[in-house]
Amino acid sequence: MSARSVGVFARRDVIPLDSGIRTAKLNKLLMGFCMSSSVLFDPALHPFEAPFSLPPFAPIDLTKKAYASEPERPLFGLRQLDVEWDATCGTMWTHIRFEGRPCYNPEILADFRACYDGVEQMFKGRERDLRYFVHGSRFPGVFSLGGDLGRFARWIRSRDRQGLVQYGKACVRLVHRTFIGLNLPIVTIALVQGDALGGGFETVLSFNVVVAEKGVKFGFPENLFGLFPGMGAYSLLSRRIGAAKAESIILSGTTYTAEEMHDLGVVQILAEPGQGTEAVRRYIERHGRRHGGYQAIYRAAREVNPVFLDELDRIVEIWADAALQLSDKDLRLMERLAAAQDRLLGIPTLVAAE
């Protein structure tokens, strides 16, 4: 199995939200991927994980390590986020290092928040030194699979609306900070070298420039289990390509290649497989002299089509309410999907269907 095919939704199955054949199609899809990895899904092997609490929105002391047991790391001492500063071109490079399934767990959200706080503090009073902010993933074949489906299912089964809302609002605060460029005169660049699904796609949409390697997949699979992407998808995608097309993409459950996203204007730069980082470097070198004009254009675009945090928060509330209406059948599909992703990626999993 190639690194390009690790995403469970790496095919163009369109499954309407109200379709009676949705379960059969998903079962067929998951069985095909599980068989391709020589592992069949076994619910008995995947008990539910223990509860956890999302890290609070407390001020972060950047002089301390993110985890007491961890050795010192460069720039902010983060466990799941590598941060590198290239002063020669004024670029901050960040790469996520997922522990376990490549989705947004609470510790990753805390690392992102610490990173953004650190960048703002680092360049306070010398804002012009930082020109570009680049974000990618070190997980082979995956940018991000988005939200943690296993945790979502646990919250829904326990009727924990507060947990859903707290997680969602933690996500949209980071999406919004990216969208506004950390309140700095910078150009933000998403470096997509693997599949970006669900919340991973939402993250990509919050950046000014999207550089994607050919063949990687983008999509919103949430309607497979009767939900919708609630952490910025509609707000961000509709402002790029219009509400009608955004709705079609969100509701279809279809995955799109980088080439198709380029045709739609979502991806600005296509790179050959394995050449994404070099494509970003070329972009910075080519446009560095005009950085001031580019960042000003993106600021102007935010004035014309702003995305406000309270809008994102209200959509999270709608998403949480919709999640609590999912049927047991939908939840089992969600759990099976999370388990299938783990099996394909060779990750020991703790969450699956009951």
Q: What is the pLDDT of residues 17-48, one digit of tens each?
A: 344 445 444 544 344 333 333 222 233 322 32
308 exposed, middle or buried (CB, 10 Å; 0-12, 13-18, 19+)? exposed
What is the per-residue pLDDT for 233?
98
132 by DSSP, 3-state: which? strand
What is the per-residue pLDDT for 340?
79
Residue 13, CB half-sphere, CA atoms under 13 Å: how many?
A: 22
Distance CA 86, CA 74 (A): 13
What is the per-residue pLDDT for 137?
97
Cα dihedral 157/158/160/165 (nearest 10): -30
What secondary structure letter does DSSP report for 223?
G
- pLDDT tens-digit map of 46-89: 232 333 344 443 333 333 333 333 333 457 889 999 999 999 99
- pLDDT tens-digit map of 104-142: 999 999 999 999 999 999 999 999 999 999 999 999 999
- pLDDT tens-digit map of 316-340: 999 999 999 999 999 999 998 888 7
What secondary structure letter does DSSP report for 147?
B
What is the per-residue pLDDT for 74?
58
Q: Which residue has the higher pLDDT, 169 or 25?
A: 169
**With 60 as the cut, is the pLDDT of residue 143 above it?**
yes
In contact, 228 and 222? CB cutoff 8 Å: yes
pLDDT more than 90, % of the chain = 70
Q: Which residue has the higher pLDDT, 341 or 160?
A: 160
- pLDDT tens-digit map of 260-274: 999 999 999 999 999
What secondary structure letter does DSSP report for 222?
G
Q: Tell me how far apart the 2 most distant CA atoms of the chain are, in Å.
A: 59
Residue 23, CB half-sphere, CA atoms under 13 Å: how many?
A: 9
Task: Determine phi and psi for 241, rounding to 5 degrees.
Answer: -130, 5
Residue 84, CB half-sphere, CA atoms under 13 Å: how many?
A: 10
Superfamily of structural domain 52-323: 2-enoyl-CoA Hydratase; Chain A, domain 1 (3.90.226.10)
96 by DSSP, 3-state: which? strand
Distance CA 170, CA 32 (A): 34
